[in-house]
C-alpha cells in the first residue's frame, strides 16, 4: 500500500453552531487546516498516512496529536516548539454555504517549517518510507522565502529516491505580499510536481487568465513535466489533463449545501486515495466528488468519523 505524507498547518477552528434557545450563537471548537483535512480523509479512506507540521507545547497541540493518532495517522514527523500555540481561525457562513475566514496565525509554529537543517534531516529519515508527499500553496505562503527554497531542495531529493509530489495551489491572496511572489513560489513548486490538484478559479485569480482558462492552464505548465493535472471547477465537470489527453468527469448535483469548508481538501483526499490504490483517473475523480459531497452537507472541515464514513457509503453508486 502506498503511504502519503501531508505537510502543512493545523489550526484551532471556531465555527458557528446552532443557536441556543435564547437566540445566542455558540461556537464549536475543532481543529482543521487544508492539508490536515486532507490527511484525515485519506486515513478514513484506508490510506497509510503521515502528517508533517509544527505544534506548540500546549493543551491544544496535545489534543491535535491525539486526534491524528486516533485516526491512525503517523505523527512522528511532528515537531513541538516550546512556548508557542497553534494558529486560530473562525468561520462565518452565509446562507448559501459559502464561508469567510478570520485568522490569528502570525506567531504559529507551523510558520517555521523547513527553516532548520536539523529538522529537515529528521524529515529525510521519518519520511523515507513514504511514496508521495502532498502539500498546498497555503503551506508555501506561511513559511519564509528561505524555507521555501529548502523545501524545494528536500522535495527534489525525495523525488530522486523515487517519491512523487502532489500539490494543490490553494491560492489565498491575503497570505502573500504580492501576486508576483505567489506566482514565483507556485511555479517553482509545480516544476517538481507529479500530480497537480488545481482549482480553476484560483488559477484565474492568480494569473489573470482571460478567454479559455483551461487552455491557459495547459500552456502555462506544458514544460513542467506534470504527469497529471486535475482541475476542480465547483459544480461543473472536473477536467483531468494527461499530456494531450483531456477527460471530463461530471460532478453530481448536491441539494443541501450547508458549508463548503474543506470541499477541495476532501476532494483531493478522495482522488489521491483512489490513484494510490491503482484506480483510474475517472474513478478517482468520482470518489473525490463523493468525498466532497459528504463534507459540504455538514459544518466544519472535519466531521465525526463514523458519520462521515456512513454517509460516504450511502453516496456510492
Q: Which residues are annotated as catalytic?
A: 265
In the chain, beta strands by DSSP E: 3-7, 11-19, 25-32, 48-52, 54-55, 79-80, 88-93, 99-104, 132-136, 164-168, 195-199, 228-232, 238-242, 245-249
In 236-307, beta strands by DSSP E: 238-242, 245-249
Burial 187-226 (b: 16+ CB within 10 A, else e): eebbebbbbbbbbbebbeebbebeeebbebbbeebeeeeb
Q: Are 151 and 111 in contact (CB under 8 A)?
A: no
Give the closest residue to 139 by CA, choosing from 114, 103, 107, 161: 114
- Rounded to whole angstroms, the Cα distance separating 196 from 162 reads 18
Amino acid at each position: 500500500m502506498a503511504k502519503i505524507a501531508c505537510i502543512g498547518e493545523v489550526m484551532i477552528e471556531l465555527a458557528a453552531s446552532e443557536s441556543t434557545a435564547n437566540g445566542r450563537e455558540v461556537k464549536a471548537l475543532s481543529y482543521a487546516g487544508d492539508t490536515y483535512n486532507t490527511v484525515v480523509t485519506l486515513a478514513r479512506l484506508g490510506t497509510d498516512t503521515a502528517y508533517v507540521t509544527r505544534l506548540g507545547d500546549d493543551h491544544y497541540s496535545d489534543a491535535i496529536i491525539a486526534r491524528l493518532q486516533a485516526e491512525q495517522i503517523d505523527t512522528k514527523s511532528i515537531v513541538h516548539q516550546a512556548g508557542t500555540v497553534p494558529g486560530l481561525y473562525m468561520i462565518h457562513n452565509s446562507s448559501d454555504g459559502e464561508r469567510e475566514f478570520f485568522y490569528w496565525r502570525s506567531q504559529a509554529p507551523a510558520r517555521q517549517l523547513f527553516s532548520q537543517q536539523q529538522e529537515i534531516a529528521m524529515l529525510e529519515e521519518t519520511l523515507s518510507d513514504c511514496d508521495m508527499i502532498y502539500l498546498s500553496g497555503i503551506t508555501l505562503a506561511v513559511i519564509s522565502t528561505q524555507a521555501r527554497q529548502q523545501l524545494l531542495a528536500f522535495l527534489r531529493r525525495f523525488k530522486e529516491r523515487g517519491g512523487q509530489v502532489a500539490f494543490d495551489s490553494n491560492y489565498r491572496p491575503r497570505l502573500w505580499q504580492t501576486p508576483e511572489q505567489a506566482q514565483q513560489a507556485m511555479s517553482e513548486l509545480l516544476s517538481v510536481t507529479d500530480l497537480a490538484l488545481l482549482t480553476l478559479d484560483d488559477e484565474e485569480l492568480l494569473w489573470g487568465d482571460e478567454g479559455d482558462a483551461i487552455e491557459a492552464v495547459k500552456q502555462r505548465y506544458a514544460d513542467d513535466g506534470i504527469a497529471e493535472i486535475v482541475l476542480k471547477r465547483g459544480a461543473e465537470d472536473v477536467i483531468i489533463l494527461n499530456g494531450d489527453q483531456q477527460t471530463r468527469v461530471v460532478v453530481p448535483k448536491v441539494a443541501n449545501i450547508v458549508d463548503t469548508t474543506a470541499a477541495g481538501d476532501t476532494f483531493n483526499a478522495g482522488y489521491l486515495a483512489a490513484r494510490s490504490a491503482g484506480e483510474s483517473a475517472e474513478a478517482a475523480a468520482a470518489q473525490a466528488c463523493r468525498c466532497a459531497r459528504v463534507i459540504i452537507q455538514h459544518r466544519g472541515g472535519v466531521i465525526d468519523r463514523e458519520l462521515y464514513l456512513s454517509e460516504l457509503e450511502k453516496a456510492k453508486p
